[in-house]
Structure 1
Amino acid sequence: MVKSGKQARRSGALAGSPSHLMHRALQLSLDIYTEEAGPDGLTQRQFAVLEAVSQKSGLTQTDLVRATGIDRSTLADLVARMTTKGLLDREQSTLDARAKAVSLSAAGAAALDAARPRVEAADKRILALLPKGKRAGFLTLLADLAAAADAVPDKAQAMARETKKAQKEARKAERLAKKAAKSEKPSRVAKGRKS
């Protein structure tokens, strides 16, 4: 459980560190989630996967990475364990022969239905920690941060394309410079012989 109260309050660098404060808030929210879900309940990540799959059956693991924000290797392991537990079904994707499509099993649907009220209770407890007037703004800020996180892969791809383009242009300029240098050398040699 996260320490609270006067002992946990700090001043200095940590008090103004968004990464530290968000980590502390995450710890608190996961503790609340775990209490509400119960010892046999779904983990927050399992719930996120089941909820995403319930919205659109036949998602690939790449689609699930985008939908949940869970990193690829963690998600692959999570889906494998959830398939073994009978919460998810996997079959060959009709869109991509290399990918497996994930769908909700009957047991997964039942687990999701049982988890939804618990997750809602956890969310209400978390929001109740804030003054009513700040809750909507808090959710908006969290959504903005999540959107920024979702945009990172797109920005990284765009940067990689720009870098590749710049490298290609640099190689082209280098070849042109070498070609120009070669064409200048014979004329210098020829001038040197005339003297």
Structure 2
Amino acid sequence: MVKSGKSKRSGALAESPSHLMHRVLQLALDIYSEEAGADGPTQRQFAVMEAVSAKSGLTQTDLVRATGIDRSTLADLVARMTTKGLLEREKSAIDARAKAVKLSEAGTALLEAARPRVEAADRRILALLPKGKREGFIELLSDLANAADAAPDLAKAEVKAAKKSQKEARKAEKLARKADGTDKAAPGDPEKVRPVKKDKKPKKAKAPVVAVEPVS
């Protein structure tokens, strides 16, 4: 067991969350691979199968939320697992346009065989920490996972708020110009500028018609 205390590493990397998390992730994946074995599912495959088994009728969009795997990677993963016969597709009972994913018999058998191995991997990882820190470690990981789930929604909300603020600013500026009697768009203002009417060309005067008497 690793003794508790400050790390002996020094420098910027010792205080870099991204670097430390990368190292810990690699350690966790190595332990997982050792316990799962060559015939077991990958960590991502296990996550997909576990999510599908927990709730029936999940679409790929639901699986993105449940597993945290990005959409393009998940689509490729589900396609390969379907080809291998681990997953099956069916019409979604909620959205007729979407396809739901369910475990096949082979997928169910693989999941049940993998669960004790994954639990063993989790025990090995937690055993690297003192008992008093294990619960807090899981809570911190949960907090980070929840923050990751909320990040896309937060980004969308910020973009929407920024657009609304810009729209209100343009509206206020337009009202101010009207109040000043300078209702003209400023340079770079996206508001449509009224076209300037060109002066019409003066019509040419027609020459008077003179009647010519016939020569007798």
> Which of the five TM-score ranges fits, normalised by the shorter chain?
0.7 to 0.9
Identity among equivalent positions (%) equals 78
In 1, are the aligned partners of 2:89 and 2:100 still within 8 Å (CA)?
A: yes
* Structure-2 residue corresponding to 1:191: none
Structure 2 matches for 1:78-97, cutoff 5 A? 78-97=77-96
SS in 2 for 1:151: helix
* Structure-2 residue corresponding to 1:16: 15
**Structure 1 residues 174 and 127, CA, compared in 2 at 3 Å: closer, same or farther?**
same
**4+ residue runs over 3 A deviation:** 177-185
The one-letter code of the counterpart of 2:35 is: E
The structure in which a higher percent of residues are helix is: 1
Report the TM-score, using the length of structure 2 for normalisation.
Answer: 0.76
* Structure-1 residue corresponding to 2:127: 128
* Structure-1 residue corresponding to 2:61: 62
Aligned residues, how many? 177
Matches of 1:67 and 1:181, distance apart in 2: 56
The one-letter code of the counterpart of 1:116 is: R
Q: What is the CA RMSD across the aligned residues, in angstroms?
A: 1.7
Report the TM-score, using the length of structure 1 for normalisation.
Answer: 0.84
1:45 paired with 2:44, answer: yes
Which structure has the larger Rg?
2
SS in 1 for 2:69: coil
**Structure 1 residues 92 and 168, CA, compared in 2 at 3 Å: closer, same or farther?**
farther
**Unmatched tracts of structure 1, length 5 or more:** 1-8, 186-195
In 1, are the aligned partners of 2:89 and 2:99 still within 8 Å (CA)?
A: yes
SS in 1 for 2:132: helix
Matches of 1:102 and 1:135, distance apart in 2: 34
**Unmatched tracts of structure 2, length 5 or more:** 1-7, 185-216
SS in 2 for 1:89: strand
Matches of 1:100 and 1:180, distance apart in 2: 57
Matches of 2:183 and 2:167, distance apart in 1: 24
Write out per-residue CA displacement over residues 93-126 of structure 1, whole angstroms, 9 at most, x where no aligned residue: 2322332111111111111101100000000010
